[in-house]
Structure 1
Amino acid sequence: ADWRTAAAYLTLAAVFCGFFYLFQAMNLFGGADAYALIVITACIPFHPFETISGTSPLGFFPFTVLINAVLINIAAPLAILLKNLIEGNRAPLSCLFLGFPVSGEKIQNEFGFVMEDIEEGEDGRLVRRFIGFTESLRRIIRGERRIYTKDLRQHPDEYQKELTLYRKAGRVWISYGIPFIIPITAGFLTALFVGDIFFVIMKAIAGM
């Protein structure tokens, strides 16, 4: 029945909005990213018209937008890996996909999250440790904020110790800082006109 379909869409939209808000609260999404997805979910829960690739099997427009955004965003780590390999940068494999080293003197002018814990030992030597994805997730769950270069730029007085260590380190690894709102925008436009990219890829592989 139509009312059951409408109720299902409303329930799904409410669940998605709740998840996006929760991800923002846990710093997994930026505020603008989460609210953009919430607005899309609330205003366009289903495809407004048939796309170039036909009707999406998912049927839920915000999910198609999110999947498209994630697939588009995958291109960035591959480009970062290539950059690190060409420049000969050395780090754990996962970090080679997610970030790159920048000048410690100018780190506050970059965009991204700091991927290293740097401390100074009693002998004056620096002790450095990469912060992997799992460790980052644990810190987020514990409510610990990651160091964002924007915070270093806007609140230098609060990060005097860190800035001093970064300058002494010379080069510091940061994650790439492409705002997810850019892939979301691209995901929205492709979902609106092209359709579900993942579905298109699967159809091409299957030769349909």
Structure 2
Amino acid sequence: MSPLPIDATVPDLLRLLVVPVFGWAAWRDAKTRRIPNRTWYPLAALAVVLLAWEGWQAWTGTPFETRAFALRAAISLGFVAPLVLAFWWFRAFGGADAKAFLVVAALFPTFPSYVVAGWEFPLHQTLVGVFSLTVLTNTVLVGALYPLAVLVRNAATGRFSSVMFVGKPVPWDAIPTEHGRLLETPEGTTRNGVDLDAVRMYLRWRGLTLADLRERTDRLRDPASLPENPNPPGDGAVDDVRADGAGAPSAVGEETTPTDAPPESADDPLDDPWGAAAFLADIDHGAYGTTPEQLRDGLDVLADEEEVWVSPGIPFIIPLFVGTVVALVYGDLLFAGLGWVGIGAF
């Protein structure tokens, strides 16, 4: 049986390439929280071509078509794109999330149209007609379900805490492959604990596993136990050969083991438990904004607790992928929802 024919313009058909790309990016984001920058280059180039293509068509069309396209492109590029950058600046989005939304802003200034077997998609459009704005609001609405799902899951399993709506309890031995932020300090719960990527970087830098750290806590808390030749810390990703630092390769590619030998020089060891400040000073890039205090508190918790609360965060590419697919098929969830409750269209 032949596939159903799709009636659409060439630019709109090319825009469908975002679906498999965003689908792969969502899978990658869930698995590793890392998406290569090169993922967005082809889509960005396609967006520039399609903007020029449809811009020329609008320019040579009727005055209404010219004004309509210009207005929607201006809203998409002049409002949605800066809004996304603002979200990124205030850390509501990650870097990959912001790049993906910028691609959407450039690729979808207007609503696409697909006719399949007599059905025209998207089913619900807005009067404004800026499709990137629809994708953005759909993504936010889909993403808002995540904290609710976390809360319900924790309540259903009897896991009650002041952070139960943003986190989940995790056994200590699962931490090397978990994403997110620790929601505990030795003093209690917190919303600003150490990033687990930074913990992995620290362990790899020292050539330790988390089990090593728990077994030799007193000795390893002393910065005099820091290795003379630390390992490259990496970026904390979990898709490396080893999730933590056991047998981490040295700069010359040899296998190293933790050492209890002190470095040649150490300044006031008691002022730097775990060598946290020494680690952050030694690496050639940041550790996701981690401070020595955050790292020390996180290591103290991980060294003692059997189970810890972790905020896995929202891999935002996943709701972006879902929001984009919903937008292409159904349309604007917010616009339709306002209609359901009797609020006039805008």
Return the TM-score normalized by structure 2: 0.47
Mapped to 2, the partners of 1:26 and 1:173 lie a distance apart of 24
- Higher Cα Rg, which structure: 2
Structure 1 unaligned runs (5+)? 120-126, 137-145
Deviation of the 1:173 alpha carbon: 1.6
Structure 2 unaligned runs (5+)? 1-62, 114-119, 206-278, 280-294
For 1:40, the equivalent position in structure 2 comes to 104
Does structure 1 retain, via aligned residues, the 8 Å contact 2:72–2:128?
no
For 1:140, the equivalent position in structure 2 comes to none
**For 1:162-206, what per-residue CA distance to the aligned partner results, in whole angstroms no more than 9, with x for missing partners?**
234223133222223441001101111111121011223333444
Of residues 165, 178, 196, the one that matches 1:149 is 196
Deviation of the 1:161 alpha carbon: 5.9
Pair 1:167–1:57, CA change in 2 (3 A): farther
Deviation of the 1:68 alpha carbon: 1.0
For 2:332, the equivalent position in structure 1 comes to 196
**Correspondence 1:42-191 to 2 at 5 A:** 42-49=106-113, 51-92=121-162, 95-116=163-184, 118-119=185-186, 127-131=187-191, 147-156=194-203, 157=205, 158=279, 159=295, 162-191=298-327
For 1:124, the equivalent position in structure 2 comes to none
**For 1:2-59, what per-residue CA distance to the aligned partner results, in whole angstroms no more than 9, with x for missing partners?**
4544443343223322232233243221111110100010111111126343322342
Return the letter of the residue paired with 2:169: P
Superposed CA RMSD: 2.7
**For 1:109-165, what per-residue CA distance to the aligned partner results, in whole angstroms no more than 9, with x for missing partners?**
21222223x13xxxxxxx11322xxxx6xxxxxxxxx63223322443444662342
For 2:285, the equivalent position in structure 1 comes to none
For 2:74, the equivalent position in structure 1 comes to 11
Mapped to 1, the partners of 2:174 and 2:127 lie a distance apart of 47
Pair 1:198–1:22, CA change in 2 (3 A): closer
Does structure 2 retain, via aligned residues, the 8 Å contact 1:105–1:167?
no
Matched, 1:23 2:87: yes
Does structure 1 retain, via aligned residues, the 8 Å contact 2:181–2:196?
yes
Does structure 2 retain, via aligned residues, the 8 Å contact 1:52–1:194?
yes
Return the letter of the residue paired with 2:132: P
For 1:143, the equivalent position in structure 2 comes to none
Mapped to 2, the partners of 1:90 and 1:54 lie a distance apart of 40
Indicate the structure whose relative CO is greater, using CA pairs within 8 Å and at least 6 residues apart.
1
Pair 1:187–1:71, CA change in 2 (3 A): same
Does structure 2 retain, via aligned residues, the 8 Å contact 1:17–1:41?
yes
Deviation of the 1:88 alpha carbon: 1.6
Q: Taking every aligned residue pair, what percent have the same amino acid on both sides?
A: 30
Q: Secondary structure at the match of 2:182?
A: coil
47-56 vs 1-10, greater mean Cα deviation? 1-10
Return the TM-score normalized by structure 1: 0.75
